[in-house]
Structure 1
Amino acid sequence: MRRLLLNFLLPALILYTAFYLVIFSPIPYKYLIGALILGFTLVSFYLVLRKIKTLLDRILLNIKGLSSSSNISPIGILELDESLKEIDEYINRFKEENKLYTRLFQSIQEGVIVVNKNKEVLRINPTALKLLNIDQAVNLEGRPLIEVIWNYTLDEMTGKVIETGEALSREVSFDHLNNRIMDIMVSPLFNERGEIRGAIIVFTDVTDKKRLEKIRQDFISNVSHELKTPLTSIKAMVEVLLEGGAEDSKLRKDFLENINQEVDRLSRLVSDLLLLSRLESDREFLNPISTDFVTLITRTVSRFQPRAMKEGITLSLEIKGDIPPLKVDVNYIDQVISNLIDNAIKYTPSGGKIDVIVEDLGKDIRVSVKDTGIGIPKEDLPRIFERFYRGDKSRSLSLGGVGLGLSIVKHIVEAHGGRVGVESEIGKGSTFYFTLPKG
């Protein structure tokens, strides 16, 4: 019965546990592949070591028989020789298994740390070192776990797993790693007698995944809000007109003008959403051709001159140096320049000034749109190119903004291999700029 337990049931239990975790655990399977690999490796090690132990027991019996016998039997010597050869074969196999285990352990894409029951590190793979920002050359074997991970939550999780023998999983934030979020699973490690000998910690960095989830949730929330606001306004005005307000000619005219503005706003929102969706999903949306960039930007600025004059704003274009032809998508770059000038006009009061400056920076061409407008608060600058982000929300809404223009600018410029930026000071104005590579 004991032999059945050791030779079959224990290895089967290890594999079953690994398979169960991968198939039925609520943790995504890709985080548990390391556990499955370790399960197979432990079973392989266990079986080889059991075979070596069996052979050693047989050799000891042969030696005992030979030492107690007055006549040394050739058969006994032959059996002893065969057993020694078999042990040598299994030792070589064990060495190969150890090499394979080391390669597998080092190649696991999740971070893996193996600790003993005293929470001292036995093994740690390169991925774990990288995720924890630890030098690959540092030897951590025998070190207390807390001195390696510097995270009390994970240290307590590991202690609880060793104490109870039950696996735990959760997301843990690492303060000393700039609040990176790790998805962690800690499983108990048993010996052949079913006693806990330590724990295996498998973890992966899900910071970017969590950030993208938040962006998606914010995006859905913002779209819902942006669609609901004009629709609610339109519905209210239509109801007033239906209830008799249409008989008042002035009220009717005002309401119809407002409805028209809200419909235009909805139309812009839908158009911008469709464009942004295309920019984010299609990496080959550009149709770049060699373009006289000075002619392109001159034409775009000229198109805004009548509007700027009407608003009492001086709009100028300055070309610094010889600007070579650039390989760009004319329509998309025209939209980038148009969006920046349009924003500058919206946020610059009458009597203000907008300067569009083109300059050669060597490897790149830089285009700046500098205004003397209201400026942007310092705390808003890092998020100004995010979708739906508006610093002065009340002013943006009154001017018909939907908060997608600058995000579209960023996507188009980056698709051309350039970058965007902004400098601003409250009450003094803003400078939005972008670069385009010459090559």
Structure 2
Amino acid sequence: MKRHLTKFEIGLRFVGALAMIFVVSGLAFSLAFWLTKWFYARHDVILPEYILQLINWGLGVFFLFVLIAIINLLTRPKQRAVWIEMMDALKRMAKGDFNIMLDRDKKYHGQIGDFIQSINDMAHELKQVEMLRQEFISNVSHEIQSPLTSIRGFASTLQREGLSPDEQKHYLSIIEKETTRLSKISDNLLKLTTLESEQQQVDPKRYRLDTQLENIVLACEPQWLEKELELELELEEAEIVANEEMLSQVWVNLIHNAIKFTPARGNVKVVLKRTEDQMKVQVADTGIGIAPEDQLRMFERFYKGDKQRTRTADGSGLGLSIVKKIVELHHGEIQVQSSLHSGSMFEVTLPAVYMSK
């Protein structure tokens, strides 16, 4: 990040520049004075006083330009070396090499030093982006490779002779499950890419948030009845101006996760509280909980957390990333409170009326 100069530093540089001008000018005009004095002492020169002063001034200006030219010739190779180094760094960055760190301390300060620091900052940021890109590609490849391997293996098994109808049906059901998983990964990736694009529009409308939450809970009834979960609703009547379809993805994801990670005969609770300008939706469960180290990364793409959670249910690790992005698009925030074996509580805070920025 570029550092702005303080008033003291600006004043100090200004004083330094003035001092340099006075020193160089004084040296030039002093040289002119002593040279003409030496010349006049050895030659009879009869000229008006103002002509003599004009000659001294002219010689002083001449020597001043000579000194400036000498200083420029002495410093130009150093400046040229710095510019060549900076241009080389930019060329390397253009080719994808971001392992660059120019040494500004031993080279230059001031504007050139700030430019060098900007190149260093740019290289660091691009290196971070490249690492994220490589990690993303690696995660996508891993997520896609797993179901493809299963499909290929069970398709090969189906070609064997002597399989009973029940065995064929079992293998086909696994293939169908894995293709559904692939389709879900593709769909979630498309959703996330769309949400992260600058062209994404929220298109808000007024609707009843409590009714939406109630309908989603009722749609999940087969899942929580199968596990004999106790599902509680505390919903205040509330209208919100937002994108109903987007927020539906948020509530479906959070409620499904609560059901998924809560053992049989556990408890899931959905609460809606409203104030004059905010809505708070809480989805709490008595499930297996989330470790503190996983809470720091749980909204990252493809992050699945510890083995205890990932072995209980399938998932691509994209759901919470989509949730967080949708909440941010509505200028809200999402927080989690959880500890292992003590359940989790996700709280989404949204403005009652979406205001575009």
TM-score range, shorter chain: 0.7 to 0.9
Per-residue deviation at 1:185? 2.6
TM-score by length of 2: 0.73
SS of 1:359's equivalent in the other structure is: strand
Partner of residue 35 from structure 2, selected from 50, 58, 61: 61
The answer as to whether partners of 1:364 and 1:436 remain within 8 angstroms in 2 is yes
Partner of residue 145 from structure 2, selected from 202, 207, 228: 228
Q: Where in structure 2 are the equivalents of 1:6-405 lying within 5 Å? A: 57-74=31-48, 76-83=52-59, 86=61, 183-186=101-104, 202-203=116-117, 204-205=120-121, 208-244=125-161, 247-320=163-236, 323=238, 325-361=239-275, 363-393=277-307, 395-396=309-310, 399-405=313-319
Separation (CA, whole Å) in 1 of partners of 2:148 and 2:288: 30
Unaligned runs of 5+ in 1: 1-30, 32-45, 95-166, 171-180, 191-198
SS of 1:184's equivalent in the other structure is: coil
Per-residue deviation at 1:318? 0.5
The answer as to whether partners of 1:317 and 1:355 remain within 8 angstroms in 2 is yes
Quote the sequence identity (%): 34
Separation (CA, whole Å) in 1 of partners of 2:127 and 2:279: 36
Q: 1:51 to 1:389 in 2, by over 3 A?
A: same
SS of 1:401's equivalent in the other structure is: coil
Match of 2:41, as an amino acid? S
**Is 2:323 the partner of 1:409?**
yes
Partner of residue 421 from structure 1, selected from 317, 320, 335: 335
The answer as to whether partners of 1:241 and 1:252 remain within 8 angstroms in 2 is yes
TM-score by length of 1: 0.60
The answer as to whether partners of 1:420 and 1:434 remain within 8 angstroms in 2 is yes
The answer as to whether partners of 2:29 and 2:56 remain within 8 angstroms in 1 is no
For this pair of structures, how many residues does the alignment match? Answer: 300
Residues 359-413 of structure 1 show CA distances to partners (whole Å, capped at 9, x for unaligned) of: 1255421101001111111221111111111124475366221110000000000
Separation (CA, whole Å) in 1 of partners of 2:278 and 2:125: 30
Q: 1:88 to 1:337 in 2, by over 3 A?
A: farther
Separation (CA, whole Å) in 1 of partners of 2:130 and 2:285: 36
Match of 2:37, as an amino acid? I
Q: 1:182 to 1:328 in 2, by over 3 A?
A: farther
Separation (CA, whole Å) in 2 of partners of 1:244 and 1:49: 99
Per-residue deviation at 1:241? 1.4
The answer as to whether partners of 2:299 and 2:324 remain within 8 angstroms in 1 is yes
Q: 1:77 to 1:307 in 2, by over 3 A?
A: closer
Q: 1:66 to 1:189 in 2, by over 3 A?
A: farther
What value does the CA root-mean-square deviation take over the aligned residues? 3.7
Q: By percentage of residues, which structure has more strand? A: 1
Residues 293-322 of structure 1 show CA distances to partners (whole Å, capped at 9, x for unaligned) of: 2222222222112321122112222124x5
The answer as to whether partners of 1:188 and 1:200 remain within 8 angstroms in 2 is no
Aligned counterpart, 1:176: none
Separation (CA, whole Å) in 2 of partners of 1:231 and 1:81: 88
SS of 2:103's equivalent in the other structure is: strand
Q: 1:189 to 1:410 in 2, by over 3 A?
A: closer
Per-residue deviation at 1:56? 5.3
Per-residue deviation at 1:55? 6.2
Q: 1:295 to 1:363 in 2, by over 3 A?
A: same
Separation (CA, whole Å) in 1 of partners of 2:107 and 2:286: 67
Q: 1:377 to 1:187 in 2, by over 3 A?
A: closer
Unaligned runs of 5+ in 2: 3-19, 69-84, 90-98
Q: 1:422 to 1:188 in 2, by over 3 A?
A: closer
